Structure 1
Amino acid sequence: MNDLEVELGPQELSEDDSDSLNYSKTGRGQKIPVVSPVCEATPNESGFHQSTRMCLKQIREALLHHRWQEAAEYIACYPQKLEDTLCGTARLDKEIMWRIGTELLHHHSKSTMDDYNNIYEQIKHTSVRHFLMISLEHSFHLLLNGHFEDAKRQLSVAESWRHGKESTTQIDRTKFIQAYKSFMDYMIWCDKRHTQSNSGYINSGDNKEMHNYFRQASVILREILRHPGVWDPFILSYVEMLEFYEDYEEALQVLTTYANDSKFPPNPNAHVYLYQYLKRHEFSNKEQQKVLKGLHVLVPSHELMLEYSFLLLHSEKTDNIQKALGVVLEMLDFACWRSSLDVWKRLKEIIQKLQLHRKNWKEIVSKNMAARKDWWPALHFTSFHAGKDSEENPELMEVKASLTEILCPYMNLKYRVQTRGEQTEERNQV
């Protein structure tokens, strides 16, 4: 809908109106920006412009209220606006037709694949500046409906498309198109692999065809690693094919580069994918710890930190017990883990092991809790939490209660089992 408002452009204010919008707080006047009402009449508009403006207004209202059939009847008349060469909004009119047309098709109960193909083809050739992105969107729709080959064909046409002098944006979008084309090859490869596995026998011809799709996809997917960005689905598809053909060394190299190369933006998912690969292929705990350590730096509240603390706790180095303590405490700094029995049980396990291996365990715990003592009790150990835990998860209540004096010694905590009357009073106060 923002495009519909932009279509009308900003309205100029009169001098009186501008002055009325000034306010003074520090002795200096400041103007408040004004948003134009949607579909407001413009000066000196012709009858044609008035009709198309009102038509756009009706389309907008119908879309906002999900009256798809009514919107379809109005939009059949709006393309006349594309013939207008006087207003200077032809480029925006074409984009409006693209956005509204596809939105309507997505929701209209009687829309067919032929309707989609027709409108995409018409808009692509009337709005050349958006040709690449419209082609990509068209291929997405074909892909979602299982037409893999047609989707790839659309991207093949877009890949070779050129318009005027190539700009940096056009080059970048072409690379994007190439990446999705390789992803289509991967999808076709998956489909053929599934068909072959269900057939019960191996056909050399099918194997060769599968390998051809793998080779086509891998050429572009390998190139992706030369361009900084977040390429999660492409990387995962490439690694899956490499694992299928038992090229484990290349798969590991791809994931390691994606996670650790500084030219890529920080991406927690990249560390997750690398860790899952190492775990899947039974790499050493030390190597898995190294990857999870990088993930911990980016997202200390990640669910895999529970596995990271387990690896630290069961490593050969006793110093890692302290690291595990810090990892779990950082998880509990976030409210999303406040009621997690697994996390609290892990914390209890860590402290018990710390007590066995370190004489100064109280000092270690106190040091980790020093920065938390002012706010942790309010986050975890109030009487409200006690009442809630005792009702919903008695085991959690028991684990937390056993840790209160260890984590917060010399503090008069309210974390205890409440009577029913106390619980009601506490809730009323909240």
Structure 2
Amino acid sequence: MDDLELELREPGKEVGENESSDDESINRKRNKKPNLPLAPPIFKETRHETGFHKTTRTCFQHIREALLHHQWQNAAGYMASYAQTLEDTTANMPQLYSEIIWRIGAEILHQHPDSKLEDYNSFCERMKHSGVKHYLKVCLEHSFHLLVNGQFEDAKRQLSNAASWRYGKQLSEQPQRMKLVQAYSGFLDYFVWCDKKSTISSVEEYDASTNQEMHSYFRQSSVNLKEIMKTPGVWDPFIWSYVDMLEFYGDLDGAFAVLSDYAYDSSFPPNPNAHVYLYTYMKKHNHPSKKLLKALKILHTLVPSHELMLEYGSMLLMSEKEGDLQNALGVTLDLLDYVSWKSNLEVWNQLTAILKKLRLKNQWEVIIAELMLHRKDWWLQMHFTKFQARIDLAENRELLDVKRFLVHAFCPRYASIYCSACKGVPMKSGNAQNDFKTTKKHLKPGKKPKRGKARVTTRKYII
């Protein structure tokens, strides 16, 4: 814009004739380029650069541009030439060159429309021997690719090669990758075990050889999976596989112990899925409700918007224990703090059931006021605005009726705001205005109330 104004300015006219010095300083500031922190280039021109190095650096720039524009065919053509850097004996960063080629080449082979499994296999075999430090990582990624394509036996073979790999001190410097190799070896044995199990269940006659082979895969898998459970970490896919096998062979106590250790061991990082797995297992095997509530209580602390919190609130609502009704109200309100639950009819119906039951208790308004104290600035504006009422009227009429019923409990002064958008629309659930109101009894003029009886007044706003 500034350049255009300079071009349109009459020749010979000075800037100061029609513009003040302040405008000139503002224009100067606009023309100044921002000093943004840019990442340093990986390869830059050096003083003693040869023609080969300059060519490879230019080739790398073309590869980067092709990847940014998803031009996979062009990127593959440039990569075929750039792979010659692996044979450069004068390079002082052979491991870096190797890792760049491996990562970019794998991405191209994943995205290229004409890519074949044989191409990926040959590429991985070459990369395993080009950079020793990346051997385990390449083996793991190779096995993942084979696993996605259903090549379980080949993936297992790749992991077996990785587990038996030895190269000086390189093995001792990569204990975490060896743990992953061990974990996925057990995972692949579990897949084969599942395949054998489905074969046995589909055949009516008992096959002793298949059953024995299946049990051998169980032993191999359980040894690896049990070993990795001793290392603190997030092992979600592997823990459930191990539990599935233990359940099949009737070791229910062992499966429960594994899930309990995974959920409650303080050395493991906080993991919501661990408590989900434990709750699902206990519910499946009819554990006491006290243990179920304990698992859901911890899950609520970690993820208050989890879908199981609706079930948690329902269990607290049915409980006869003192204080569980108030906890159910808190859990349900926590769900409605999140936009993902904003239009969920089930959670609003649960809130209605909780409030109807809570009204039978003394000082129910005080309980609601305490839970809404930190929400009063935004919660009602989130759910009971005139705009939200129009959305509810258009998308879910039943939800509109429920919320018209509830707005009188939380804040009667918002009832007119929310319900004004749906005037003339009759309610199916009855008269909402009278459901959460207390009556007001007026005394005759000059008559004093009887001693021992309190004057009945209208209820104050809860929030």
Question: Shorter chain as normaliser: what TM range?
Answer: 0.7 to 0.9
> What aligned pairs does 1:146-165 form with structure 2 within 5 A after superposition?
146-165=150-169
**Contact in 2 for aligned 1:39/1:57 (Cα 8 Å):** no
Compute the TM-score of the two structures, normalised by the length of structure 2.
0.80
Is 2:377 the counterpart of 1:374?
A: yes
**Contact in 1 for aligned 2:404/2:415 (Cα 8 Å):** no
**Contact in 1 for aligned 2:133/2:170 (Cα 8 Å):** no
CA distance, structure 2, for counterparts of residue 283 and residue 162 of structure 1: 47
**Contact in 2 for aligned 1:139/1:154 (Cα 8 Å):** yes
Is 2:140 the counterpart of 1:113?
A: no
Q: 1:211 corresponds to which residue?
A: 215
- Deviation digits for residues 308-330 of structure 1, max 9, x if unmatched? 01111112314211110111011
Equivalent residue for 1:301, pick from 301, 305, 316: 305
- Report the Cα offset of residue 56 of structure 1: 1.7
Compute the TM-score of the two structures, normalised by the length of structure 1.
0.86
What's the secondary structure of 2:319's corresponding residue? Answer: coil
1:271/1:254 CA distance change after superposition, 3 Å? same
- Deviation digits for residues 135-169 of structure 1, max 9, x if unmatched? 00011111111111111111111111122225654
- Report the Cα offset of residue 284 of structure 1: 2.1
Q: 1:248 corresponds to which residue?
A: 252
What is the letter of the counterpart of residue 410 of structure 2?
L
What is the letter of the counterpart of residue 128 of structure 1?
V
What is the letter of the counterpart of residue 117 of structure 1?
N
CA distance, structure 2, for counterparts of residue 181 and residue 289 of structure 1: 36
Equivalent residue for 1:139, pick from 139, 143, 153: 143
Equivalent residue for 1:384, pick from 372, 387, 391: 387
What's the secondary structure of 1:226's corresponding residue? Answer: coil
Q: Structure 2: give runs of 5+ residues left out of the alignment.
A: 1-34, 424-463
> What aligned pairs does 1:180-199 form with structure 2 within 5 A after superposition?
180-199=184-203
CA distance, structure 2, for counterparts of residue 32 and residue 373 of structure 1: 42
- Report the Cα offset of residue 282 of structure 1: 1.8
Is 2:52 the counterpart of 1:48?
A: yes
CA distance, structure 2, for counterparts of residue 402 and residue 32 of structure 1: 54
**Contact in 1 for aligned 2:407/2:415 (Cα 8 Å):** no
CA distance, structure 2, for counterparts of residue 398 and residue 127 of structure 1: 67
Q: 1:338 corresponds to which residue?
A: 342
- Greater mean deviation of Cα atoms: 328-337 or 60-69: 60-69
> What aligned pairs does 1:280-319 form with structure 2 within 5 A after superposition?
280-319=284-323
What's the secondary structure of 1:416's corresponding residue? Answer: helix
Count the aligned residue pairs. 389
**Contact in 1 for aligned 2:232/2:267 (Cα 8 Å):** yes
Q: 1:10 corresponds to which residue?
A: none
**Contact in 2 for aligned 1:377/1:413 (Cα 8 Å):** no
What is the letter of the counterpart of residue 383 of structure 2?
H
CA distance, structure 1, for counterparts of residue 370 and residue 416 of structure 2: 19
**Contact in 2 for aligned 1:382/1:413 (Cα 8 Å):** no
**Contact in 1 for aligned 2:86/2:130 (Cα 8 Å):** no
**Contact in 2 for aligned 1:373/1:408 (Cα 8 Å):** no
> What aligned pairs does 1:221-240 form with structure 2 within 5 A after superposition?
221-240=225-244
1:33/1:410 CA distance change after superposition, 3 Å? closer
**Contact in 2 for aligned 1:312/1:324 (Cα 8 Å):** yes
- Deviation digits for residues 96-139 of structure 1, max 9, x if unmatched? 11112211211223322221111111110111100001000011
CA distance, structure 2, for counterparts of residue 371 and residue 419 of structure 1: 29
What is the letter of the counterpart of residue 199 of structure 1?
V
What is the letter of the counterpart of residue 299 of structure 2?
L
Q: 1:402 corresponds to which residue?
A: 405
CA distance, structure 1, for counterparts of residue 335 and residue 45 of structure 2: 56
Q: 2:417 corresponds to which residue?
A: 414
- Deviation digits for residues 239-273 of structure 1, max 9, x if unmatched? 11111111111111111111111111000011111
What's the secondary structure of 1:418's corresponding residue? Answer: helix
1:265/1:405 CA distance change after superposition, 3 Å? same
**Contact in 1 for aligned 2:407/2:414 (Cα 8 Å):** no
- Deviation digits for residues 46-98 of structure 1, max 9, x if unmatched? 11111111222222223333332332222222222112232312111111111
**Contact in 1 for aligned 2:182/2:228 (Cα 8 Å):** no
Equivalent residue for 1:327, pick from 309, 331, 344: 331
Larger radius of gyration: 2
1:169/1:309 CA distance change after superposition, 3 Å? farther
CA distance, structure 1, for counterparts of residue 352 and residue 415 of structure 2: 21
CA distance, structure 2, for counterparts of residue 354 and residue 169 of structure 1: 61
What's the secondary structure of 1:111's corresponding residue? Answer: coil
**Contact in 2 for aligned 1:387/1:417 (Cα 8 Å):** no
CA distance, structure 2, for counterparts of residue 167 and residue 221 of structure 1: 20
Q: 2:63 corresponds to which residue?
A: 59
Identity, % of aligned positions: 53
Equivalent residue for 1:275, pick from 267, 272, 279: 279
1:361/1:34 CA distance change after superposition, 3 Å? closer
What's the secondary structure of 2:127's corresponding residue? Answer: helix
- Report the Cα offset of residue 202 of structure 1: 2.8
Give the alignment's Cα RMSD to 1 decimal: 1.9
- Report the Cα offset of residue 366 of structure 1: 1.9
**Contact in 1 for aligned 2:189/2:221 (Cα 8 Å):** yes
Q: 2:362 corresponds to which residue?
A: 359
Q: Structure 1: give runs of 5+ residues left out of the alignment.
A: 1-30, 421-430
CA distance, structure 2, for counterparts of residue 367 and residue 33 of structure 1: 48
Q: 2:396 corresponds to which residue?
A: 393
- Greater mean deviation of Cα atoms: 36-45 or 91-100: 36-45
- Deviation digits for residues 326-353 of structure 1, max 9, x if unmatched? 1101111122211111111100001111
1:214/1:417 CA distance change after superposition, 3 Å? farther
